[in-house]
Amino acid sequence: MPDIEREFDYAVIEKIFGPFVRFHADIFYDCAKEANNGVIVELGTYKGAGAITLALGTRRGNNLLVYTIDDRVNRKGWIGESYTDEDYLAFEENVKRADVHIVPIVCDAFDAAENYRHIWKSGIALLYWSLGTRDHFALDFKAWGKYVVPDGFFIAKDAGQGELGTEPVIQEALRTGEWERELCKGGISVLRKLTLP
C-alpha cells in the first residue's frame, strides 16, 4: 500500500529542488519520523533539502523542533564548490515554500555545541552531520554526540569513499559499545545511541 503522506511530502521537496536522491531522503525522513525525546539538529546546510526533509518527516512523527546550524561564511568546499550568500537566501526561501518551521542558528557548528547548550541539554533525538569539511568530524562527534538521547540517531554524511574521515571516528564509537550502526550505504552512516544498563 503506498504511503500517501510520504508521497505528498516528497512532491513538496521535488517541486522545490527537482529530482533528488530518493535513498537519502528516505533515510532522513524515516529517522526524523521515528525520532523522539528531544530536538532535531542539522549541522551544515546548503539550500535546505536535508533540513526540509527532516522537518517533513518529524511532522508525520513526533513533531519535533528542527534546528539547522551553519556559520554562513562564503567559502569553497572540500572539492572546490562555492557556498555564497545566495545559497543562504535560497535556503530561507525554500523553507517558506515548503511551509515548515526550521530554526536557523548562524554559528560555527563546533562552537554552537557549547554556546547553545541550553537548547541541547534536554536532548537531541536526531543529529545530522553534513558539514563536508575534512578532519572536523572527530571534534564534532565528541562535541555533539553527548547530547544525543538513548535510542536517538546520529547521521553522518561522507563523500562515499571516506574522504571526510568519518569512518575511523565511527569505528571508535562502535568499539565503546555506546553506539550501534544501523546503516552504512551511499555515503551515509546512521548510528543509534544505545541505552546502557
pLDDT along the chain (197 residues), means of 10: 86 89 90 97 91 97 96 63 75 95 94 95 95 80 96 86 81 95 91 84
Torsions phi, psi for 145 (to 5 deg): -60, -30
pTM above 0.85, yes or no: yes
End-to-end CA distance of the chain: 39
Q: Are 123 and 149 in contact (CB under 8 A)?
A: yes
Domains of the chain: 4-193 (3.40.50.150)
CA distance 80 to 85: 16
